[in-house]
Structure 1
Amino acid sequence: MNLENLVHLLAQTHQSLHQRASRAVDFALVVRNWLFGYYIVESEQQGEDRAQYGQRLLDGLSRQLRAAGIPGCSVSNLKNFRRFYEAYPQIRQTLSGELMSAAVSPLSIGQQLAGATGLELLAEQFRVSWSHYQVLMGLKDAEERRFYEIESVSNGWNVRELERQIASALYERLALSRDRDAVRRLSAEGQVLKTPCDAVKDPYVLEFLGLEERPAYSESELEAAIIDKLEHFLLELGKGFLFEARQKRFSFEEDHFYVDLVFYNRLLRCYVLLDLKLDKLTHQDLGQMQMYVNFFDRHVKTESENPTIGIVLCKRKKDALIELTLPKNANIFASQYQLYLPSKEELRQQLEDATFPLADNGLES
């Protein structure tokens, strides 16, 4: 082995073990902070006036822990640790009954959790970094918080991407196209692609394009902006999408046609065609997409692949027109796009109206 190869081997070894060590340190930090929160909550519950006792407790803890040389223990951080435990109290219930028995003192529980067996149990519960959990703690809804945690793990989101997905209301947008049971599955499993409907969002949020809201854009300008930020657009599309072509041409009977954007979804094993429309959706737009889908199904896809999906991305649409134009089993969808981050409050209201109409009518408790 020459010197150059040896240097390369040592560098690879260092990088691999350094990354593993960094992950181990971050995991230990997550466990420590959850345990700190657990101890603080247990101590506060023993105080007569929780508010006053809790503040005195945190002030005293912060002073003495910092004096002992333990980093990251300011009063604000201790409050975060408490919030962390309060956001994930179910972890205590999911651990073994013997380890978290009510008959065992908090001190004894903590000592057991800090041991090898306890750490193994906690390793199954904490799957993202402390920075991720600091973002997730800002979500009040436990199901929404669980969804984003699962998606962070399965998609390898860094903190910045997690923040962007939360700001774009991914959970609400996916939930809007699902029934009540499917919404519950979102929080338990994350986004799972089994049918064409699972791959479609409404609306698509394209704020990352950096385009201002104005009526003068052409479809080619919007398309060019998407291609320029293709990596971001693929993240917005969701799981399993691969880019294949722009302005894909196909011909028959001496006429030429162009599909704006062609993707392939490796999870659904099918082509996904996107057509961009700057204004209101028309029945002609849907008919055109039907022709594109038919061509790909008959002349492009193989027998082992699933039917092609068509998505018309438009500024405005009317659901009644879509229902009247398309057959029920069509693999064609129309979704709106917007160039700004949505209002989560508006989406949540739409979700409640669409998913829980019976409760609003007093027919279901």
Structure 2
Amino acid sequence: MNLTSISNPQLVKEAMRRTEDFVPTNALTSVVEMAPGTLRILARARFALPPVLASATGEKHRSVRTMVGKFFTPAKVMGITEHVRALSVERLKVTAEALDRGSVSRDVPGSSVVDLAESIAMHIPPIIMAELTGLPLPELSLLKRWSRDSLELFWGWPDAERQLHLAHSAAEFYCWLRGEAEAARGTDSLFGVLHAAGLSQAEVCSLGYFLVIAGQETTSLLISTALYRGIEKAQSPGAPAWAELAEPVAAAAHVRKVLATESSVHTWRRAVARDTTLGGIDLPAGAEILLELSGHHPADTASTAYSLAFGHGLHRCLGAKLAELEATLVVEETARALPGLELTGPEPAWLRLLSFQAPLTVNVSGRNK
């Protein structure tokens, strides 16, 4: 895939505003061409992703976006605050108990550690997503496998053999999703509302396929990065203590810095609809551009730069405030409950896909000092 990278934040915003020149038709296209065997597996599952939200344009996109947006209004997000906090406290009790028991990590043999990505970050976003949308969720480990496999299939560089494994997982997820979408007819859940508005079964499943993933997996990845960087920074000489992030203002500033510098969704794609230029670069119709959302903001714009991590304009992430809220509250409550945490073991492996990134583990030891 030949992509022209656009890293200047102002040009990224310009591209997202110029919806006639730069269209999202490639937003959900796999980075590498899928092998014939992969396509056969998906076809047997009747896997289809017609454009509905992230990859759609025009009036239908705006209509669907309005319907989905009603499930993530500012009032509903604020109304979920105490539940996010309560879930964080609940998971932190489990984490503290694990630290007290001396749990053993696979990545650090013989050491008493806990992986915060597994004990905290992966648990909270799925529950909140289900509560806001009325959508059921499968068993958590299954959801995580489906999510990670689908991200790799569409935004990774799997070879033909690896694609077969990922395609079976994606097909399994899609079949589950189709059953849940059908069961939602006549309900006031998100799927029920979409059905009532006249969307086809394939369109409902297309929207649900990536919404279920984006609504929880990308937030879990953001939480993992925020926890990792917060604890890591505190271990540097002269740096503020990790415990200081228990202050709401400090936690919010920390999460916004992570969003500005290494968001879990750090790039996004657009297709060039007609011959045009962007920042002096000639771009022919049919070309593809990679918009870098995070990591290129001038230091003096830190107070606003984080916002671009969720996109800009007509396709800005509908769950932006929710993701930021969840990450901030988890960091705040973790620093309050476990002020003595330290990173331990080797540097973590990172998820590194075209548009997604995060540490795969956040191994810590210690509890209080």
Please classify the TM superposition score into its range, dividing by the shorter chain length: under 0.3
TM (norm. structure 1) is: 0.21
- Asked which structure has the greater CA Rg, the reply is 1
Q: Which has the higher strand share?
A: 1
TM (norm. structure 2) is: 0.21
